[in-house]
Structure 1
Amino acid sequence: MNSTERRALAGLASLYVFRMLGLFMVLPVLSLYGSDYSGSTPALLGLALGAYGLSQAILQIPLGVLSDRWGRKPVIYIGLAVFALGSVVAAITDSVYGLIAGRILQGAGAIAAATMALAADLTRDENRGKAMAAIGASIGVAFVLAVVLGPLVAGLGGLSAIFWLTALLALVGMLLVWRLVPNPAVSTRRGPRAGDFSTLLAGGMVWRLVSGVFFLHLLLTALFVPLPLVLLEQLQLPSTGHWKLYAPLMLGAFVVMLPLMRVAEKRQQVPAAMRLALLGLIFGALALMPSITGGWIIVCLGLFFLAFNLLEALLPAQLTRVAPAECRGAATGLYATAQFLGAFAGGSVSGLLFGQGGAGAVATFLLGVLLVWSVSWWQLRGTRVPVVSS
């Protein structure tokens, strides 16, 4: 990577860390502190937790298209401002309905599509995979930090403290984009033509990649519904110590994933690598099986995280290669929408199954999803997207 690419990647990866840190910190504490809000019920707290993903899914495509027309940075600034406003609303309310409104506003700052498109604009094709891998790794870093910091911050000032910190982090994100991230050399403000967008939607590869991220995040969210209890029962690992397991597994998976990704892209065998990673996701389902105990659970999770990280890097990199430059924001908007819808579907279905049939029922569901995904991806064999230097 040249200096411009490194600078852009540092700024965008840092933006992801600061923004996702604020969001992830809510996850381990919302159910604990949510009962303090007036009108609170388990159902409304669940709605408050999911409202963010719903508004994200609705607005990713429109904001992605606007980033093609207005430019990436203006959309990112607007999204961060809306996200900060939602954080303030959630911080000052004492009602569960105000909390829901704040979470909806947070999600309305849907900048994932514009951010991914900007990363693609500022990196050459042969470095695209590494850029997406670094952004994916930044999300993992934010998750690990949030698991540790969330309970600490909430212990000092409740959920309000987390939301005030989240608003501050959004403002820091604006500063990072302004000071660190260069402007794209080629203007993206012409906007997509109807023919460009029709070509994008007609592309079979685009839909396979979009369905891939839907299934990928469905699997991840569904896995994490029963996983904490499995770790408690099988490994006697309390929730406060889960980060000690996740952190080394995620770090190790990322370190191993990087050379695999480089070899796949260098040899133009990305579809084969993605199919292999899809098989690796099976180990996530196996980790929930009652017959898998002790250290084998850790092995299964390590292989799952390796496969997840590989797909998390390869999928958006491939999408930005096959999508026309004029429609790149729209394509990443479609991609991000599928990502959030997958997370919503995975959590909802897994929660229902876990309540009815335990972790084994969720494992069976995951295996069924993987079977459907495998069939939908069957035609990926032999499909190559050339890597062209720019």
Structure 2
Amino acid sequence: MSRSTLNSQERRASLSLAAIFALRMLGLFMILPVFAIYAEGLQGVTPVTVGLAISAYGFSQAILQIPFGLLSDRFGRKPVIAFGLLLFAAGSVVAALATTIEGVIAGRLLQGSGAIAAAVMALAADLTRDTVRTRVMASIGASIGFAFLIALVAGPLLAGWVGVSGIFWLTAVLALAGIGVLYLAVPAPVRESVHAESEPVPAMFGKVLRDGQLLRMDAGIFILHMVLTAVFVAVPLLLRDTTGLVPSHHGLFYLGVMVCAIAIMVPAIIVGERRGLVLQLLRGAVLLLAVALLLIWSGREALWSVALAMVLFFAAFNILEASLPAIISRLAGPSVKGTAMGVYSSSHFLGAFVGGAAGGWLYSQAGAGAVLGFCAIMAALWFVLTLGLELPFSKPAAVPEEQAIS
């Protein structure tokens, strides 16, 4: 067997760990497109508390993700992952039973406290060889994107059938199913050890936090998920109240938008990689994100114009979501890669929290236009940050001197 080919254990580990990630993230993401509308029926609701309920999980995720990874080094991967999934399930039950917005916020915070990402990646490293580890990590990461796509469509459809409380109950069931997958399908590692290329190492935090290029990437993922969460505070209400699209049809709307967005994203990434235009693609996607946010608001009276703007928004989002992890993993050396990815992931979740909180406050003060305008400004700021970014691996290969002379 080739050293670059997955053996049976590695294939099983890749599929089962990706399934655990997808089951967990599916539950988190299904709430995004429906909660702003659902929350109107809860006691004590305001736009600010709606934003906090949408994003509260990001706060506890950002704080606890790296500690959970370090705890898995001491107490074992599977026990820590199972405990995290139990916390996630418990938070889902709290949110499902809540009749007030404060109860939902408490449930979302508890959901986020099951921060298992670093522990899952560490277990994946324990179960794979160095030569195939990057492929396994990529497949686990891809499961998150797949879960997001399914959730945007399934969330509105399920909300019309079982309600948002039903989605929370389903989320709890999915988390418990993840525990079943963990113990029935994930192989037991022969030994567990620290892998600097796939999990945080405390001694490396200083080096990572002093690297200007890595910090620009952390700022980028922070802004990207801040914008995403803030958008879902405003856009579901805009679709219902301004374009007249009934909530039961929002799932079909997002399905059409995402299919078109992926049709743009895939060839763009392929061309960017093949022609060494990774940096140009990154900057172009950030700029497109800002433009799309302005177009959503300027075309808000017509469903077709909002749909077109949302296609551009999600095309840019998908390009960035797919590109940023690959870029940061190549910028960081092997000795700091796991730590760099840990800080990057924490920045992602912190951005989600800030986006919900800021989006809710802005909506309460000045409506959807303020939310979208703020997001566009932050995307423009991100574009400015990319101007100082250097990606030497994206440059075309130099022509050998003997060929140049000839």
Q: Where on the TM-score scale, by shorter chain, does this alignment land: which range?
A: 0.7 to 0.9
Which residue of 1 is the match for residue 19 of structure 2? 14
Distance 2:284 2:96 in 1: 44
Q: Name the counterpart of 2:255.
A: 247
The range that moved more, 360-369 or 95-104, is: 95-104
How big is the shift at 1:188? 4.0
Displacement after TM superposition at 1:250 (Å) = 1.4
Q: Do the aligned partners of residues 230 and 164 (structure 1) sit closer, same or farther apart at CA in structure 2, a change above 3 Å counting?
A: closer
User: 1:261 is matched with which residue?
Assistant: 269
Equivalent position SS for 2:256: helix
Residues 1:142 and 1:367: Cα distance change in structure 2 (over 3 Å): closer
The change in CA–CA distance for 1:6 and 1:189 in structure 2 (over 3 A counts) is same
Distance in 2 (CA, whole Å) between partners of 1:305 and 1:260 is: 13
Post-superposition offset of 1:48: 4.7
Shift of 1:13: 3.7
Partner Cα separation in structure 1 for residue 368 and residue 104 of structure 2: 31
Q: 2: distance between equivalents of 1:298 and 1:9?
A: 36
Q: CA separation of 1:128/1:337 partners in 2, compared to 1, >3 Å: closer, same or farther?
A: closer
Q: Corresponding residue for 1:213?
A: 221
For 2:294, the equivalent position in structure 1 comes to 286
Deviation at 1:10, TM superposition (A): 3.4
Deviations 1:310-368 (A, max 9, x none): 11111122233334556554433322221222122222323333343333333332221
Cα 1:251–1:178 change in 2 (3 A) is farther
Equivalent residue of 2:393, what SS? coil
**In structure 2, what residue type is equivalent to 1:237?**
L
**104, 107, 114: which is aligned to 1:102?**
107
Q: CA deviation at 1:119?
A: 6.2
Alignment of 1:351-366 (within 5 A): 351-366=360-375
Deviations for 1:202-248, whole angstroms, at most 9, x for unmatched residues? 22222111111111011112222222233335543112211111112
- Asked whether the 8 Å contact 1:24–1:147 carries over to 2, the reply is no
Q: Which residue number in structure 1 is paired with residue 401 of structure 2?
A: none
- In the alignment, what sits opposite 1:42? 45
Would the alpha carbon gap of residues 125 and 10 (structure 1) be closer, same or farther in structure 2, given more than 3 Å must change?
A: closer
1:373 counterpart residue number: 382
TM-score (norm 1): 0.80
Distance 1:261 1:118, change over 3 A: farther
Contact 1:137 1:254 in 2 (8 A): no
**Residues of 1 paired with 2:275 and 2:140: CA distance?**
18
Structure 2 CA distance for partners of 1:273 and 1:183, relative to 1, 3 Å: farther
2:329 aligned residue: 320
1:331 aligns with 2:340: yes
Distance 2:67 2:321 in 1: 23
Would you say 1:112 and 2:117 are equivalent positions?
Answer: yes
Q: Which residue of 1 aligns with 2:161?
A: 152
Letter of the 1:282 partner, please give it. A
Determine if contact 2:36/2:233 at 8 Å carries over to the other structure: no
Q: Note the C-alpha offset of 1:96.
A: 6.5
Shift of residue 173 of structure 1? 1.2
How far apart are residue 45 of structure 1 and its match?
A: 5.7
CA RMSD for the aligned pairs? 3.6
What amino acid is the match of 1:370? A
> Is the CA contact 1:147–1:243 (under 8 Å) kept in the aligned structure 2?
yes
| Cα distance in 2, alignment partners of residues 267 and 373 from structure 1 | 24
Match of 1:84 in 2: 89
- The 1:84–1:225 alpha-carbon spacing in structure 2 relative to 1, beyond 3 Å, is closer
Shift in alpha-carbon separation, 1:152–1:294, aligned structure 2, 3 A: closer
Q: Retained in 2: the 8 A contact 1:223–1:284?
A: no
Q: Quote how far apart the aligned CAs of 1:19 are.
A: 1.5
Given the superposition, is the C-alpha separation of residues 113 and 361 from structure 1 closer, same or farther in structure 2, using an over 3 Å criterion? Answer: same
Amino acid at match of 2:44: T
CA distance in 2 between counterparts of 1:120 and 1:212 reads 26
List alignment gaps of at least 5 residues for structure 2: 396-406
SS at 1:197 equivalent: helix
Partner of 2:85, secondary structure, is helix
How many residue pairs were aligned?
A: 379
Q: Tell me by how many angstroms 1:302 deviates.
A: 0.9
Task: Give 3-state SS (helix, strand or coil) of 1:312's partner.
Answer: helix
Query: Displacement, 1:369?
Result: 0.8
Query: Relative to structure 1, is the Cα distance of residues 295 and 326 closer, same or farther in structure 2, using a 3 angstrom cutoff?
Result: same
Q: 2:284 aligns with which of 276, 287, 300?
A: 276
Amino acid at match of 1:313: A
Percent same amino acid at aligned positions? 42
Deviations 1:171-213 (A, max 9, x none): 2112334444557899543676655333222222221111111
CA distance in structure 1 between the aligned counterparts of 2:232 and 2:102, rounded to whole angstroms: 26
The answer for the alignment partner of 1:296 in structure 2 is 305
